[in-house]
A and B are shown apart, each in its own frame.
Chain A
Amino acid sequence: MSIATRVGAPRIVPTRGIPFPTGDPSLGTEQERAWRRTLVETALVALSTAVDEPTVFDGSHQSNQGEHSDTSDNTDGA
């Protein structure tokens, strides 16, 4: 269980590393920006979704950055 979940953060978007929550230095400039966009879009999905407990929104496998996040973690109350 992640720290964010344990401390009770209601809406959580997992990222790739502590020193770069909205980036990934291993990627090229454009790819990194696309990854950052995916994260922020996932955050916007999270903000638009009703939750009643700490809920993980994982957009990292999404190919279509649409209205729904696709993991089973965030279906509660969605």
Chain B
Amino acid sequence: MTRVVHYLNQFFTGVGGEDAASTPPARTDGAVGPGRKLQALLGDDFEVVATVSCGDDYAAGEPEAAREILALVKEAKPDVVVIGPAFSSGRYGLACGRLAAAATQAGLAVVAAMHQDNPGLAEAAGAPVVRSGEAAREMGPSLETLAAAVKKLSAGEDLTEAEGRLGKPPRRNRVADQNAARRAVALVLARLGGDKEATEVPLPDFDKVTPAPPVEDLSEVTVALVSEGAVVPADNPDKLESARATRWAHYSIEGRDSLPAGEFISVHGGFSTVAANEDPQRILPLDVARQLESEGAIGRLHHEYLVTAGNGTSVGNAKRFGTEWVADLRKSGVRAAILTAT
């Protein structure tokens, strides 16, 4: 019998909704809520021996939450820790990702489930996460994916994309059938034979972005300045992170013709900011943009700029920023943006 301990948030264990989001972690015996369906899918060889639950605010906001949750999980002596599915819920996803990372670090077998755009995916730090639907209406198929992954994991097998695994699986050493020289020659022969895909070092697969159509007349439209160069007011009022940013900010440039040294700084942690702090326009070209606006080359400069720190940012967060920026700019009627990248 394989002992399963299941983690869910306060909503799915029936503790309550937002009103109960600050509930601290607690454990109950047996399967609860979606855990019952999980138990049915796992069959008689598995037993959900306990369910650990925590309020989303507590789990995402309390620095010690993941440790406390993990302690409750460990007391139930799991063979496998099953987490979620968190769908695309942000706080729940963060809790699931952190617990997955902590449980893996503690040497436990673990699998979490969430939507591929959930920011919690980045928190899992390589611990196994399989895909779920976007929202709870997709609970059924999401639990099926999760249960299949649990079975595979308990059988000692690695989870791959075929099981819905998200993110890049961690590297593992293994002994190859043939030495490097033979494999290299085999790859050359494959290439000469017309196989352009064969490789032992697959390059990261970036999304293909369809370029937006050109702006027909820039003198008629609003143009925004956006940047990942972490230029912020000198007191960094929103505490923008200098690395691994999880958020972005926006600051007014209404009525400004320049960004004076001292009033704005770059908090980017990936390069020396001496040059940027001498003249923040080395990252955000407000002076000439304003000039081009007054000359009519662009219709109007957007009244604020959007900014984050592009330094070790996870692809998931970067995608989210991009999506949020586009939504924000569209809502404001901006038709084009100049993104300065450091």
Do A21 and B342 touch across chains, with their CB atoms under 8 A apart?
A: yes
Within A14-45, the residues touching B (CB, 8 Å) are 17-23, 25, 32-33, 36-37, 39-41, 43-44
Count contacts on B: residues with CB < 8 A to the other chain: 39
Give a binary string over A40-52; 1 marks a CB under 8 Å from any B CB, 0 the rest.
1101100111111
A7 to B338, CA, bound (A): 17
Give a binary string over B42-53; 1 marks a CB under 8 Å from any A CB, 0 the rest.
000000000000
Do A23 and B281 touch across chains, with their CB atoms under 8 A apart?
A: yes
Q: Tell me whether B143 is interfacial, beta carbon within 8 Å.
A: no
Do A23 and B275 touch across chains, with their CB atoms under 8 A apart?
A: yes
Taking a contact as CB atoms closer than 8 A, the residue among B214, B271, B273 that contacts A50 in the complex is: B214
Within B272-303, the residues touching A (CB, 8 Å) are 272-276, 278-279, 281-285, 287-289, 291-292, 297-298
Determine the chain B residues whose CB is within 8 A of the CB of A55 once the complex forms: 211
Do B214 and A25 touch across chains, with their CB atoms under 8 A apart?
A: no
Taking a contact as CB atoms closer than 8 A, the residue among B213, B216, B284 that contacts A22 in the complex is: B284
A47 to B270, CA, bound (A): 28
Determine the chain B residues whose CB is within 8 A of the CB of A37 once the complex forms: 288, 291-292
Chain B, residue nearest A51 (CB):
B211
Within A58-72, the residues touching B (CB, 8 Å) are none
Chain A, residue nearest B336 (CB):
A47
A44 to B281, CA, bound (A): 17
Total cross-chain contacts (CB, 8 A): 92
Determine the chain A residues whose CB is within 8 A of the CB of B298 once the complex forms: 44
Are A48 and B289 also in contact (CB < 8 A) when A10-B209, A21-B282, A22-B281 are?
A: no
Closest beta carbon of chain B to A26's beta carbon, Å: 10
Do A40 and B218 touch across chains, with their CB atoms under 8 A apart?
A: no
Do A4 and B341 touch across chains, with their CB atoms under 8 A apart?
A: yes
Closest beta carbon of chain A to B211's beta carbon, Å: 3
Do A19 and B285 touch across chains, with their CB atoms under 8 A apart?
A: no
Determine the chain B residues whose CB is within 8 A of the CB of A32 once the complex forms: 279
Closest beta carbon of chain A to B205's beta carbon, Å: 11
A28 to B252, CA, bound (A): 28
A48 to B213, CA, bound (A): 8
Q: Tell me whether B172 is interfacial, beta carbon within 8 Å.
A: no
Determine the chain A residues whose CB is within 8 A of the CB of B292 once the complex forms: 37, 40-41, 44
Most B CB contacts (10 A, CB to CB) among A20, A22, A37, A55 go to A22
Are A21 and B340 also in contact (CB < 8 A) when A8-B208, A39-B285 are?
A: yes
Do A25 and B215 touch across chains, with their CB atoms under 8 A apart?
A: no
Do A6 and B272 touch across chains, with their CB atoms under 8 A apart?
A: no
Determine the chain B residues whose CB is within 8 A of the CB of A48 once the complex forms: 214-216, 218
Within B206-238, the residues touching A (CB, 8 Å) are 206-209, 211-216, 218, 223, 229
Are A7 and B206 also in contact (CB < 8 A) when A23-B282, A39-B285, A40-B285 are?
A: yes
Chain B, residue nearest A48 (CB):
B214
A32 to B292, CA, bound (A): 16
Within B225-255, the residues touching A (CB, 8 Å) are 229
Chain A, residue nearest B212 (CB):
A10
Do B206 and A8 touch across chains, with their CB atoms under 8 A apart?
A: yes
Closest beta carbon of chain B to A47's beta carbon, Å: 5
Determine the chain A residues whose CB is within 8 A of the CB of B276 once the complex forms: 19-20
Chain B, residue nearest A50 (CB):
B214
Determine the chain B residues whose CB is within 8 A of the CB of A53 once the complex forms: 211
Determine the chain A residues whose CB is within 8 A of the CB of B341 once the complex forms: 4, 21
Task: List 4 tightest A-B contacts by C-beta distance, closest first.
Answer: A23-B282, A10-B211, A20-B282, A22-B285
Q: List 9 A-B contacts (CB under 8 A).
A: A4-B341, A19-B282, A25-B275, A32-B279, A33-B287, A43-B338, A44-B292, A47-B218, A50-B214
- Apart from A32-B279, A40-B292, what 5 extra A-B contacts exist at CB < 8 Å? A9-B209, A21-B282, A22-B285, A25-B282, A48-B215
